[in-house]
Chains A and B, each alone.
Chain A
C-alpha cells in the first residue's frame, strides 16, 4: 500500500517565520504535489514536481517555494509566513505520466496556524 507521510499533523508558527513542511512517499513515485485546502474553496495546487530537482508552479504559488533533492521527499517552504497562509496543507504522490494507472495518493495533511 502507498504511504505518504507528512511530518506534522498540527503546526503553529508566528508571522514572519520561515516554515518547512515535509512530505515523504515510499512508492518510488516520480510525481509529488502540494495542495492547500480552505473551506468553500476545495483543494488548490501550490506546486508540483515530476522528478528530482524539477518543480512546476501550480495555481497559487505566491508566497511558497519547494525543494525536491531526493525522489522520495518533497518540501514546501513558506519563506515568510503570513496569517493568510493559515490552512490545511496536503501532500500527494503519483506514478509518472504515461504509465496508465496513475492515481494520486494523499498524506494525512498538516493543519498550519500562523499567529
Chain B
C-alpha cells in the first residue's frame, strides 16, 4: 500500500517561532488532508489540499502532487498549536485514507 512519511517526528518551538512540517507519499493521490489532534484527542480538519496552496490564518499548506509531498507552515506559533499534526492521503478510486505517524509539536511560552 501507499507509504506516508512525516517529518520531523517531534518538534519543540518557542512561542512566536515559525515552522514547517513535511509529508512525503509514495504514490499518486486523489486527496490529501492535514489534521491537528489537540491534547484532548480531538482530530480537527485543517486543510483539504490535493494540490496547490491554501491559507487559513496563521496556517498554510502546499501540496506538490507531481513530486509527492505536502508542507504545512505554522507562523507565529502559539501554545494552542501544540498537539499532533497528521497528514493523510487517499489513493485515487480507493475511498480510504492512509495516515502518516504524525508530527508531535510542543510550543513553549
Contact assessment for A41 and B95 in the assembled complex, using a CB-CB cutoff below 8 Å: no
Residues of B contacting A33 with CB < 8 Å?
Answer: 96-97
| Residue of B35, B41, B102 contacting most chain A CB atoms (<10 Å) | B41
Contact assessment for B95 and A104 in the assembled complex, using a CB-CB cutoff below 8 Å: no
Chain B 33-53 interface residues, beta-carbon cutoff 8 Å to A: 33, 35, 40-45, 48
Contact assessment for B101 and A101 in the assembled complex, using a CB-CB cutoff below 8 Å: no
Chain A 61-115 interface residues, beta-carbon cutoff 8 Å to B: 88, 90, 97, 101-106, 108-109, 111
CA distance A43 to B99 in the complex (A): 6
CA distance A101 to B32 in the complex (A): 11
Given A31-B95, A43-B99, the answer on whether A103 and B86 have CB atoms closer than 8 Å is no
Given A48-B95, A103-B48, the answer on whether A42 and B42 have CB atoms closer than 8 Å is no
CA distance A104 to B97 in the complex (A): 9
Instruction: From the candidates A40, A45, A58, A109, name the one contacting B41 in the complex (CB within 8 A).
Output: A109
User: 0/1 per residue, B78-109, Cβ < 8 Å to A?
Assistant: 00000000101000010111011110000000
Seed contacts A31-B95, A90-B43; 10 additional CB < 8 Å A-B pairs: A41-B101, A43-B86, A43-B99, A45-B97, A50-B95, A101-B48, A102-B31, A103-B31, A106-B35, A111-B41
Contact assessment for A108 and B101 in the assembled complex, using a CB-CB cutoff below 8 Å: no
Residues of B contacting A101 with CB < 8 Å?
Answer: 48
Chain A 11-61 interface residues, beta-carbon cutoff 8 Å to B: 31, 33, 40-45, 48, 50, 58-59
| Residue of A33, A104, A106, A111 contacting most chain B CB atoms (<10 Å) | A104
Residues of A contacting B99 with CB < 8 Å?
Answer: 42-44
CA distance A50 to B88 in the complex (A): 19
Contact assessment for B45 and A103 in the assembled complex, using a CB-CB cutoff below 8 Å: yes
